[in-house]
Amino acid sequence: MSSYNLPAAVGSPSGTGAESITIGDTATTQNNNGNYTDSAGNLRVDFVWGNFPKQPNDERADGTPTATESYDASGNKSWTSKSTIASARLNQALSDHAAIEAEWANFPSFVEAAGNYKVTAASGDGTTVTYTSQNNLSAGDVVNITGLTASAYNLSSATVATANKLKFTVTNAANAGEITGQWYGKVESTTAASAADGAGLGYINVPNVVGLTTASALDALKDAGYEAANITTSSAVTPAISNVALTSNVATITANAHGYATGQSVVIAGLTNTVLNGTYTITGAATNTFTFAKTNDDIVSVADTGTAKVMAKAGTVKTQSTAAGTGSVATTATITIAPYFAS
């Protein structure tokens, strides 16, 4: 990396104006402001490259992929008398081209920053459904509406009857009254040319919802782009104990991926080694084991079955079927969350 100096001070031995030098050749000194200077007292300024702009793909979608045109020898620098010219329109579905138009974000997860329109309210009269949505739709566009609390208004392949910048309508017999304050309602156009026109890029960067309450986890998954209908909450689970041991008045319980932490109160039940059943404070926790104090004769490590419940975990998510941080997951994909037992 090289630096570029401000013009040298009058009378300086280097006073020939701006000059480019190597940082390694410059004396390392600082002025009163803490800025590094060169041997002549000039501030050292580094040129730093900015972000390289996105480059659209050059894959052609419509029409003949290439065309052959004839040019004279001078036009072709004597290479050939023919030139192959890329023709037709760029393929909007490939690479960065659609992504740029969609204000693409979060590389490398391919998550659109915009690309579908939010629906904040809806009403139906048995003939027409009116949606409140800032949009760029036109009559004749085909859309999918999802995420509304009144499921009757969640429509697939509906044709827009009328539209302006704030509302659009479709002809449909749904009549569930007026709903307002919608947060996850959205409309995606199936006929749009690009995500910027409301098509959506349809990819998710999966958030980490383990440890969140079930309600907060659902919100986080919807915020990330999952459709409500594709999120499943499984039955509540309690970590199952598979092995127990007691050495020098310290009990060690094996319960795979229990998720518990030191200081939490745990209720042990159902063990064959009944002396360990009861309520204890966890004194140590690893991924698959935890410990607590128990005054009793030693118990040699032995397989046992029972349950371990921590009430502080009740109702919070224990597992999620798709790992946090997974990228390039389609919004149509499903995910299952499993909360801890809540009673």
What's the rounded mean pLDDT across residues 93-99?
52
Confidence of residue 73 (pLDDT cuts 50, 70, 90): low
Which region among 186-190, 299-303, 321-325 has the lowest average model confidence (pLDDT)? 186-190
Longest CA–CA span in the chain (Å) reads 99
Nearest to 209 by CA among 328, 332, 333, 322: 322
Distance of alpha carbon 293 from the chain centroid: 42
Is residue 33 helix, strand or coil? coil
Tell me the CA end-to-end span of the chain in Å, nearest whole number.
63
In degrees, rounded to 5, the angle at the alpha carbon of residue 205 between the alpha carbons of residues 201 and 208 is 155
- pLDDT for res 222: 85
Q: Out of 29-33, 207-211, 239-243, which region has the weakest mean confidence (pLDDT)?
A: 29-33
Average pLDDT over the chain reads 78
105 vs 152, higher pLDDT:
152
Max mean pLDDT range (137-151, 215-229, 282-296): 282-296
**What is the rounded CA–CA span in Å between residue 126 and residue 172?**
7
Provide mean pLDDT across the span 219-236. 88
CA dihedral for 220, 223, 228, 230, sign (positive or negative): negative
Is residue 315 scored above 80 in pLDDT?
yes
Asked whether residue 293 carries a pLDDT value surpassing 80, the answer given is yes
Stronger pLDDT, 329 or 255, i.e. the higher one: 255
Residue 308 phi/psi, 5° resolution?
-130, 115
Residue 330 pLDDT grade (very low, low, confident, very high; cuts 50, 70, 90): confident
- Whether the per-residue pLDDT at 100 is higher than 70: the answer is no
- Looking at the DSSP bridge assignments, the partners of residue 65 are none
Domain architecture of the chain: domains with CATH: 2-46 (no CATH), 117-197 (2.40.30.20), 203-234+317-339 (3.30.10), 240-313 (2.40.30.20)
Strands 167-171, 231-233: pairing is unpaired
**What per-residue confidence (pLDDT) applies to 71?**
55
Is 39's pLDDT higher than 90? Answer: no
More confident residue, 71 or 223: 223
Strands (E) in 47-176, as ranges, are: 66-70, 82-86, 117-118, 121-124, 128-132, 142-146, 158-163, 167-171
pLDDT given for residue 214 in this prediction: 93
